[in-house]
Structure 1
Amino acid sequence: MKNNKIAVLIDSCTDVPKEYIEKHGMYIVPLSINYSFGQFQDGVNITAQEVYDNFSKEIPTTSLPTGETIMKQFDKIQQDGFKEVIIVTISSGLSGTNNMITQIAKEFPNLDCRIIDTKNIGIGAGLTGILAGQLVSQDLNINEIEKRLNKSVEDTKIFFCVSTLEYLQKGGRIGLVTAVMGTALGIRPIISCNEDGVYYTVKKARGRKKVISEALNLALTHGKGHKFNLAIAHGDALEEAKEIYDELKGKLPDCKEILFGQISPALVVHTGPGLIGIGIQLAD
């Protein structure tokens, strides 16, 4: 249900699940996915599976949402009668989306826009987006919502594992992650976002099962002593993600909610198949 005072706008790479978008009446700005044969809008006219299926033929690129797409969302927000907008984006350290939305927001002086740079990616950013919708539904004023969301940025982390660094390298999103994985020894990095919202290696482990286990341990350590929300995200690794979800469900007394889902098509482009991500948000 939409709050009649404050709108919530997110970008597609926050990976907010569809049910939350619908429940809170969120507006969404899709990033672009570019092939030699055409341009697509993230999650609108292309799916994650279609990106995977096309990898053998072409690895696409991604680009910022078009200015026209962003302006249409702001126009719609105004037409729907809103005067205030909470905007939640993926890290400005990984994408120019935050800056582009910020610049276009200036063209709408009748809207009081508060822009939250999550310094995070995927459901790590999406957990803050979900919180925005929840806070708006509580009829809090926009100053209080902005304050709480900025606190949430500090309290939310994501830890993810990829089967290869090839896609992060090709997409120029390697950040501070060691560019060479120890293939012969099976050494793999656990990746997160630092305080600047840039990818870095948190830890390394040997073997797929061990690295996923360590990523989960890092997340639960972050949440120790707190109530928290957890998210299990995957990129073409459904069975592994389900195993983690089934193992954890109902066994973490401090966990308020566990989200589960596939990453967005645009994130698929940069991570390739085989991603497992663990997002955690302190909730007390």
Structure 2
Amino acid sequence: MRIGIVIDSACDLPADFIEREQITILPVTVQIGQAVLADMRNEEATLNFLTGDTAAQAYNADTTPYTVQQVHDLFLSKLVLDYDYVFCITTTRSRSGIHDNAVQASYTILNEYRPARQAAGNNTPFSLRVIDSQNVFSAVGVLAVEAARLRAAGEGAPKIRARLENLALHTQGYMVPPDLHYLRNRIKKRGDKSVSFLSATLGTALDIKPILHCNRGETGPVGKIKGFEPAAEKLFDYAGKRVRAGLMTPTMGLSFGGELEGMRALPGYQRLIDTCAEHNVEVFESVMGLSGMVNVGKGALVIGFAAENAPFA
């Protein structure tokens, strides 16, 4: 059975991994003023786009996920021909409309795929499953990496599906945003009230940086540290502690809202990398996707892994 993997562009994974595993991307289109770019996880294009006046207006960006029709057309023109079963892994539905769009499209895809496959000389059934990662950014990538590993090991679609759906419940995403005012303005634009004006003002005045946690689609603060670098170090050290305690998959996802050298220069980064190497955990580093960067701000740090939920300490 030919198994395909689809992600949306807010799933943070390295470009070489996406290319090697032939993962298909559902892009999110970002518009800032008159500037428009479809986020196809091109790191250079992302960093070039968020410069000058465009970067200064990023808080007011409009993001548009692939529509139901666009998902439908992509599957019927390509994916139903290339694969027999496709896993579409999306950013949590609580933060993005791409999950619901993909689910709606799946109904018509499964009703209409036969003529396209028959025209290509294939009369076997086609199936797809939309998986809500219940997480964001590099934490979504944890599921995609596991899907690729299981596929490479020759596992069948039912076992991969069960594994991914269970893993989604235990995937942990953590983020340190660099600018609470920016984050507040973005989530207010999206109708989210998880960061209040008071906390944003207080945090900026005192240089307090929250450490935000996402699991099962719910996001909230688990810590507050004075200064971005100390907050990043705290998060790196916590992730290292979780690695030593044992993860559910040998995967650590890191994403950063800028050049990766900026992340690698942060205190605590190398300790985490060394800990992962000691415990045979593979690290996947990537520049945050464009849609993610405009939503949480340039310079944000995100860590994702799969493990039982545990207090942040």
- Which of 46, 49, 60 is the matching residue for 1:48? 46
Q: Which amino acid aligns with 2:108?
A: E
Q: How far apart, in 2, do the equivalents of 1:64 and 1:236 lie?
A: 22
**1: distance between equivalents of 2:196 and 2:240?**
24
Partner of 1:7 in structure 2?
4
- After TM superposition, the structure 1 = structure 2 runs for residues 54-203 of structure 1, keeping only pairs within 5 Å, are 54-56=54-56, 59-75=60-76, 76-80=78-82, 82-109=83-110, 110=113, 111-172=126-187, 174=192, 176-179=194-197, 180-181=199-200, 182-195=203-216, 197-203=217-223
After superposition, residues 164-243 of structure 1 pair within 5 angstroms as 164-172=179-187, 174=192, 176-179=194-197, 180-181=199-200, 182-195=203-216, 197-227=217-247, 228-236=250-258, 238-243=260-265
Q: Give me the identity figure in percent.
A: 23
- Kindly state the Cα deviation for residue 162 of structure 1 after the two structures are TM-superposed: 1.1
User: In the aligned structure 2, how far is the partner of 1:5 from the partner of 1:37?
Assistant: 41
CA displacement at 1:260 relative to structure 2: 1.4
Question: 204-213 vs 62-71, which deviates more?
Answer: 62-71
TM-score (ref. length: structure 2): 0.80
1:257 is the counterpart of 2:278 = no
* CA shift for structure 1 position 52: 2.2
Q: How big is each residue's C-alpha offset from its partner over 1:100-119, in whole Å with a ceiling of 9 and x where there is no partner?
A: 00100111125321121111
- RMSD over aligned CA atoms reads 2.4
1:154 Cα offset (Å)? 2.6
Question: Alpha-carbon deviation of 1:264?
Answer: 0.3
Residue ranges of structure 1 left out of the alignment (5+ in a row): none
Contact 1:194 1:200 in 2 (8 A): no
TM-score, normalised via structure 1 length:
0.88
CA distances 1:40-71 after superposition (whole Å, capped 9, x unpaired): 21136882213420222554221221334312
| Distance in 2 of aligned mates of 1:38 and 1:67 | 24
Do 1:61 and 1:269's aligned partners in 2 also have CA atoms closer than 8 Å? no
**Paired AA for residue 26 in structure 2:** V
Q: Helix, strand or coil for the counterpart of 2:233?
A: helix
* Structure 1 letter corresponding to 2:218: V
Partner of 1:281: 306
CA displacement at 1:274 relative to structure 2: 1.7
Give 1 or 2 for the bigger CA radius of gyration.
2
Give the Cα–Cα distance (whole angstroms) in 2 for the partners of residues 9 and 263 of structure 1. 18
Aligned length: 278
Q: Which amino acid aligns with 1:169?
A: R
Distance in 2, Cα, partners of 1:144 & 1:24: 19
- Contact 2:9–2:25 (CA<8 Å) still a contact in 1? yes
Q: Give 1:190 shift.
A: 0.4
Amino acid paired to 2:272: L
| Equivalent residue letter for 2:9 | S
**Match of residue 16 from structure 2:** 19
Structure 2's unaligned 5+ residue stretches are 114-125, 309-313
CA contact (8 A) 2:8 2:89 kept: yes
Cα separation, 2, equivalents of 1:166 and 1:51: 21
CA distance in 1, matches of 2:31, 2:213: 26
